[in-house]
Amino acid sequence: MSDVITAVLDEVTETAPEIRAGLTGRREYQADENPSGEQMLAADVHADQLLEERILAVDGVGSYASEERDEIQEAEEDGDIHVACDPLDGSSNLKSNNVMGTIVAVYDEPLPAPGRALRAAAYVLYGPITNMVVARDDTVTEYVIDCETQNAPGTGIERRPVDGDVTLPSDPVVYGFGGRVPDWPDDFASYVRDIEQELKLRYGGAMIGDVSQVLEYGGVFAYPALESATNGKLRLQFEGNPIGYIIESAGGRSSDGSQSLLDVEPTELHQRVPVHIGNADLIERLETALSD
């Protein structure tokens, strides 16, 4: 099983430069919506197609699912590994040329699966540098995917480790919260008022960019439950679980408001979940604020 996981991560590494190179010229919206009712860009569809093809071709992968398609795609042969992707997280940032990422969740149970069935989770961040952060076996590693190779997709691209033990700094610095402020429930808004006194606002509109800041500087990110959407916006299989797994593996905590994201029961493939991640004490305070 470990070889299969490595092979999936290798495919993601090899595909990332191609996804990045394909962003130019794919900034227009498609006629269709994704299963969550959101507009898709040509770039979302392109990234999804590349990942589906490459990941399903790995021996031992039984299925592939993504935010951009209704149904789970089964592999031709059975396999014990099931992969869920957000092919282009934060793709609304493409029009304004801000960061986006690819999120990958590697489960050893058929989807929808609980976070406790994750065997690895990773993301690629298309920032000034293309990097890849992988959580596996309780360790988080940051890699750089070298820029020179991005001009020659598919030519033996490798990920180069730059930090073999990514951990949240103990002294947090940044916060970022999604959703419109008037749409925040009162208990969450009151938590935010406290956090604002202590930390510095950094919010970029792509979860993966905001999570990367929390990993680097320490702090808290949330896309909370809203008055108009009690499960928030982000999706458990493709976003909540893998990010919860990465942050917890890096010594932080994740929560849906009352429990670890990894303990949320999966009910359907595209279910949404309130997401809060960050330094353990900040997430404990959040849970206390929401339970009062």
Where does this chain bind ligand AHM (CB under 6 A)? 38, 67, 86, 89-92, 178, 205-207, 223, 233
| Residue 234 contacts residue 240 (beta carbons within 8 Å) | yes
Nearer to ligand AHM (CB atom), residue 79 or residue 93? 93
The partner in contact with residue 233, picked from ligand AHM, Mg ion, none with C-beta cut-offs of 5 to 8 angstroms by kind, is: ligand AHM
Residue whose C-alpha is closest to residue 290's, from 236, 237, 222, 210: 222
The partner in contact with residue 206, picked from Mg ion, ligand AHM, none with C-beta cut-offs of 5 to 8 angstroms by kind, is: ligand AHM
Token output for 28: 């227009």
Among 44, 48, 86, 210, binds Mg ion (CB under 5 A): 86
Tell the smallest beta-carbon distance from residue 158 to ligand AHM (Å).
27
Nearer to Mg ion (CB atom), residue 7 or residue 261? 261
Nearer to ligand AHM (CB atom), residue 4 or residue 223? 223
Stretch that binds Mg ion, among 11-19, 76-84, 87-95, 168-176 (CB under 5 A): 87-95
Nearer to ligand AHM (CB atom), residue 52 or residue 86? 86
How many other C-beta atoms can be found within 10 angstroms of the C-beta atom of residue 141?
18
The partner in contact with residue 75, picked from ligand AHM, Mg ion, none with C-beta cut-offs of 5 to 8 angstroms by kind, is: none
Give yes or no for residue 68 binding Mg ion (CB under 5 A). Answer: no
What residues have CB less than 8 Å from 261, skipping those under 6 apart? 115, 236, 240, 241, 243, 244, 254, 255, 273, 275, 277
Nearer to Mg ion (CB atom), residue 166 or residue 207? 207
Tell the smallest beta-carbon distance from residue 276 to ligand AHM (Å).
12
The partner in contact with residue 68, picked from ligand AHM, Mg ion, none with C-beta cut-offs of 5 to 8 angstroms by kind, is: none
Buried/exposed 239-264: b ≥16 CB within 10 Å, e otherwise:
bbbbbbbbbbbbbbbbbbbeebbbeb
Output the DSSP codes for 134-190. Answer: EEETTEEEEEEE-GGGGGSTTS---EEEEESS----SS--EEEE-S-GGGS-HHHHH
Nearer to ligand AHM (CB atom), residue 91 or residue 141? 91
Tell the smallest beta-carbon distance from residue 74 to ligand AHM (Å).
24
Stretch that binds Mg ion, among 82-90, 180-188, 218-226, 275-283 (CB under 5 A): 82-90
User: 97's torsion region: left (phi>0), alpha (psi -120 to 50) or beta?
Assistant: left
Q: Which amino acid is at 60?
A: G
Nearer to Mg ion (CB atom), residue 123 or residue 191? 123
Tell the smallest beta-carbon distance from residue 103 to Mg ion (Å).
7
| Residue 106 contacts residue 134 (beta carbons within 8 Å) | no
